[in-house]
Amino acid sequence: MALSLSRLPSFSGRPGPLLLVIADGVGIAPAGPSNAVTEAAAPTLDALTDGSLPHTLATRLAAHGPAVGLPSDDDMGNSEVGHNALGAGRVFAQGAKLVNAALTTGSLFRSDVWKTVIGHGRSHTLHLLGLHSDGGVHSNNEHLYHLLEVAADQGVRRARVHILHDGRDVAARSALDYIAQTEQVLTKINEHHQADYRIASGGGRMTITMDRYGADWAMVERGYHCHTHGVGRPFASAGDAVRTMYDESDAGDQYLDPFVVVDEQGSAVGAMADGDAVILYNFRGDRAIEISLAYERTEFSQFDRGTHPSVYFAGMLQYDGDLALPTNYLIEPPTIDRTISEYLCAAGVRSFAISETQKFGHVTYFWNGNRSGYIDADLETYVQIPSDNVQFNTTPAMKLREITDRTIDLLRSGDYRFGRLNFPNGDMVGHTGDLGATIDAIEVLEECLTELLAVVEALGGVLVFTADHGNADIMYTESGGVRSPKTSHTLSPVALAIYDPGYGGEYRLAAPPDAGLSHVASTLLNLLGFEAPPEYQPSLLAF
């Protein structure tokens, strides 16, 4: 059925453009020395988000747990599900929730893909690759353990686990705890089934394998050769590798170098061979796409794979529906349809989306319901500013000024009714655990936000400010006088602020008690002068 929008009878929108600013990772938490947002000199941001800036209405939104399709209120939000909710106007069961259900019901193990994996594993080796923690953003070790245990029960006697240290969605130096837990599971399986299950390789998630949006293919190359061909620093065990690297530097887990586990002869214990099966057990798509391409595609030119083994590769989910990647996957992803972009294109509304590489896919791919490419290339413009390949605490401004300059050009062109941007530095710098650098990041955000507010006012438009989840708002925890950097997302709510210089009382805020990110799409449509589709979560506005 063709999509259509009806006009609001009492409000047609402002004459100028509507701009949505998503300040990635900027949540709302109590003020204090660990809160980079409140510690920063950011008077405009403060006034905007508390509603004291003239012409501003403000409220708070839930950005974690069930509000964004995750299992429980203990589950931190993340950029993927946050932008899905923002762009879809509804809540869909997401990543961990889908996997939990498939494991609980056993539907995963009844799939043809799982049966094929087991067939390869019985005659060759089963490899499981993924982020090694219980952070719940990209993966969960409980999922890994369940897969391993069922594989052993079903006759797989040789398995290798290729781990990617986290230190980003969990404590900065927690890899040894997770390794100990996994080794315990593997030992139990080996003893019970007379099996050979081992950790075979690994490295930090920001060093190998988990690149996204083509920002640093060299990461993927290092990971591919480490996991596939056993290329890396040799150690007798994963624990030995991490302890040695801890002694050598202060780097957090996410930045640790690649390693391989070797036998007494110095040979890698987990190199892959023809006929093996490989499961990428991450459920989040953005950092799974490139390594999936490296394993699955026959024609591949991003780097030299050497002797590429013929393995049966499967993802936990399909990570990109448009690319049909991977071909084989264990669980059907949510079908996110009728996104706000689809409705706006159907109504002939011209729009733009912009960010730098690190978050470009969030305002395009995730915003559009895990769909690559344009909805309508005649009506949409997507702008990607290349990110630098650095540790982001060394460049806390990231590309905010470039994003801002290009956004202003797009706004002033008069070609667009709606635009959306992602300012990534609250999240990307926040993930480093560097409080000072994150404060600097927020102050650059303040500078750019102030500039955008002035331009929107001059053009007779409206600016809507929000975030996809928290991060920069809690930068460390403290126990017994000892501070521990917090590199993960938070459970904090986020701001929703509407800056409307032409405001004359035409509407008011009427946020429901359960207001979350999925209520934003209806709100944006109202500000553009449209009724929200009946299937969307209610608007935050009343007319």
pLDDT in tens, 228-252: 999 999 999 999 999 999 999 999 9
Same domain, 179 and 106: yes
Same domain, 323 and 341: no
Residue 167 in domain? yes
Same domain, 347 and 250: no
From CA 235, how far away is CA 268, in angstroms rounded?
9
Residue 271 in domain? yes
Q: CB–CB of 278/311 below 8 Å?
A: yes
Structural domains in the chain (count): 2
Nearest CA among 111, 499, 78, 130 for reference residue 295 = 130
- Catalytic: which of 12, 34, 79, 107? 79
Same domain, 33 and 119: no
Task: Give the CATH number, domain containing residue 115.
Answer: 3.40.1450.10
Instruction: Write down which residue in 302, 331, 360 finishes a domain.
Output: 331
Provide the whole-model pTM: 0.77
Residue 1 in domain? no
pLDDT of 319 reads 84
Q: What is the largest CA-CA distance in the chain?
A: 78
pLDDT of 453 reads 98
Residue 8 in domain? no
Residue 89 in domain? yes
Instruction: Write down which residue in 298, 331, 364 finishes a domain.
Output: 331
Same domain, 44 and 56: yes
Same domain, 85 and 105: no
Residue 13 in domain? no
pLDDT of 76 reads 83
Same domain, 370 and 242: no
Residue 259 in domain? yes
Those residues whose C-beta lies under 8 Å from the C-beta of residue 29, and which sit 6 or more positions away, are 35, 37, 38, 470, 473, 474, 490, 492
Strands (E), 312-405: 312-317, 329-331, 351-356, 380-385
Give 80-129 pLDDT, tens digit per residue. Answer: 899 999 999 999 988 888 999 999 999 999 999 999 999 999 999 999 99
From CA 300, how far away is CA 178, in angstroms rounded?
34
From CA 259, how far away is CA 48, in angstroms rounded?
47
Same domain, 80 and 103: no
Same domain, 346 and 201: no
Instruction: Write down which residue in 331, 352, 372 finishes a domain.
Output: 331
Q: CB–CB of 278/314 below 8 Å?
A: yes
Domain containing 435 equals: 18-93+335-542
Assess whether 267 carries a catalytic annotation: no
Pick out the chain residues at pLDDT < 70. Answer: 1, 321-322
**Packed helices 435-458 and 43-50: angle between N→C axes, nearest 10 degrees:** 70
Residue 3 in domain? no
pLDDT of 1 reads 67
Same domain, 45 and 115: no
pLDDT of 123 reads 98
Task: Give the CATH number, domain containing residue 396.
Answer: 3.40.720.10
Same domain, 23 and 172: no
Same domain, 234 and 352: no
